[in-house]
A and B are shown apart, each in its own frame.
Chain A
Amino acid sequence: MRIPCPHCGERDYSEFRYGGDASKQRPAHGSGDIKAWHDFYFLFDNPKGPHAEYWQHVLGCRRWFVLTRNTATNEVGGPA
């Protein structure tokens, strides 16, 4: 699989680190709402299809970015 790093360009997936579902909204720092934090941290839509997700180019520029990938085909790009 090839992943387009916004800074370095397209590279093999092995240069990156996966960071999970990027569509989930992290509760505000110190929100204090345990339920919100539980749902954010432990629950996943896990869609079969377009998926917005975090990746970090750890062997490159170390940027974290959001990638849209179709989990049914591994095709990168397209609307989330």
Chain B
Amino acid sequence: MSNRYSALALARHALDPDLSWPRAWRSPDPQRSYDVVIVGGGGHGLATAHYLAKNHGIRRVAVLERAYIGSGNVGRNTTLIRSNYMMGGNTNFFEFSLKLWEGLSHELNFNCMVSQRGQIVLAVSPVQLDVYARRGNIMRLNGIDAELLDRGEVMKLLPYLDYSDEARWPIWGGILQRRAGTVRHDAVAWGYARAADSAGVDIIENCEVTGFTIEGGQVTGVETSRGRIAAGKVGIAVAGHSSQVAALAGLRLPVESHILQAFVTEPVKPIVDHVVSWGAELFYLSQSDKGGLVFGGHIDGFNTYTQRGQFAKIRGVAECAVSLMPFISRLRLLRHWGGIQDMTPDGSPFICRTPIRNLYLNGGWCYQGFKATPASGWTFAHTIAHDEEHDLNRCYTLDRFEKGGELDEYGTGNWTYKQ
């Protein structure tokens, strides 16, 4: 019977208790060799496998995951998608990603709950509003939706913010991207896995890569906890641990690993209908479909691989939440957690070849890994298949710092820990 998901299939299963759904993805043993091995079964790795099969007809692909798929940042982020970028290179890449998001549930036949509820970024000074305007103008000039809001318009859309004189920084206005929003993060990993699997990709969980076999400057396979696997090409997509895995191939990266924390409150009936971001201090919040308010702030600010955050930062984020939206004060925090992410000097990622032939890198995602997932997989698949960067990811190379090609979207300067 068809494995296709639909309301009809659901009804059929409801009526016939003996009918059971097949596995969303198989659990195969690794074969001896593959055309392409992707290291890392997170959103980016699984998306890459999907597009390798779908766009390039490369099906002898294995995705190797150390734990269970989606165990990394795809399941730890705050689920935001947007394409409000102004630097050449970023703008089109992230808009391409947003376009892929818009069709993703259909493409994967898996409801990822792509919710384009709109994101509003709030400016706390006239100067900041000018800076946002520059970004918004660039978006419009590249066919991306953006609207400039004055204080009054923000008050209409977000009546529950603190507009009183008690507010430390007044809200001067904001910029709205209606097509931005949220996505059910786990569904992205599962949906890509299911699609890739049905195209013949082997998804191998609990399989840790312990080394690379490199002959004459060219990668020919990987050593894993489940034995050696030969590969024509190898792609690394393990953001958060890129330095660790790249080191196995003798590479040193422009990356420091930092923890970013995320938070969720108890579920309540609909109360926040947009994604709201604040310019006073990095802070962003949205309400999940389950009803919890999901939010986050800055990285803790020093490199670490522990997935525990510092309480001082937790308090700082709570102060942001309550100061911007005082009603949150009475809601209860249900859970907070941390994810390890690659921070790069300029805050922009890598999707590129490496000094080792047939070894490719996807990482350095800083804050923006989740929203980039579809475009990241799409362009990484292209880069692997054609052994060259696509126009969309041409600026995300490893050597950009040697050339002074930094892509500092937010003007924070070349500091991994200040991005």
Contacts and interface: CB of A to CB of B under 8 A. Distances in A.
Contact flag (A, B; Cβ within 8 A): yes
Contacts of A35: 402
Contacts of A73: 306
Given A18-B417, A48-B305, A53-B302, A71 B257 contact: yes
A18 B301 CA distance: 7
A29 interface: no
A28 interface: no
Interface residues of B, number: 27
B226 interface: no
Contacts of A47: 243
Nearest to A3: B302
Contacts of B305: 48, 71-72
Nearest to A16: B302
Interface residues of A, number: 23
Interface stretch (B164-172, B248-256, B268-276, B385-393): B248-256
Contacts, number: 66
Given A44-B243, A44-B255, A45-B243, A51 B312 contact: no
Given A12-B312, A72-B305, A42 B256 contact: no
Contact of B255 (A41, A46, A48, A51): A46
A14 interface: yes
Given A1-B310, A14-B312, A20-B416, A38 B255 contact: no
B401 A42 contact: yes
Given A12-B312, A18-B301, A38-B401, A46 B414 contact: no
Given A13-B312, A18-B301, A38-B402, A44 B306 contact: no
B402 to A, nearest CB: 5
Nearest to A48: B305
Contact of A44 (B304, B312, B313, B416): B416
B357 interface: no
Nearest to B344: A42
Which of B241, B305, B310 has most A Cβ within 10 Å?
Answer: B305
Given A18-B301, A48-B305, A71-B303, A41 B310 contact: no
A48 B253 CA distance: 14
B253 A71 contact: no
Given A18-B301, A42-B401, A53-B302, A48 B416 contact: no
A6 to B, nearest CB: 18
B416 to A, nearest CB: 7
Interface in B230-277: 241, 243-244, 247, 252-257
A80 to B, nearest CB: 14
Contact of A20 (B304, B401, B417): B417
B345 A42 contact: yes
Contacts of B345: 41-42
A45 B312 CA distance: 27
Interface in A3-37: 12-14, 18, 20-21, 35
Nearest to B306: A74
A23 to B, nearest CB: 12
A35 B253 CA distance: 15
B308 interface: yes
Contacts of B253: 43-44, 46
B306 A51 contact: no
Given A13-B310, A44-B243, A18 B255 contact: no
15 contacts: A13-B302, A13-B310, A14-B312, A14-B313, A18-B302, A18-B417, A20-B415, A43-B253, A44-B254, A44-B255, A46-B243, A48-B241, A48-B244, A51-B303, A71-B306
Interface of A: 1, 12-14, 18, 20-21, 35, 38, 41-48, 51, 53, 71-74
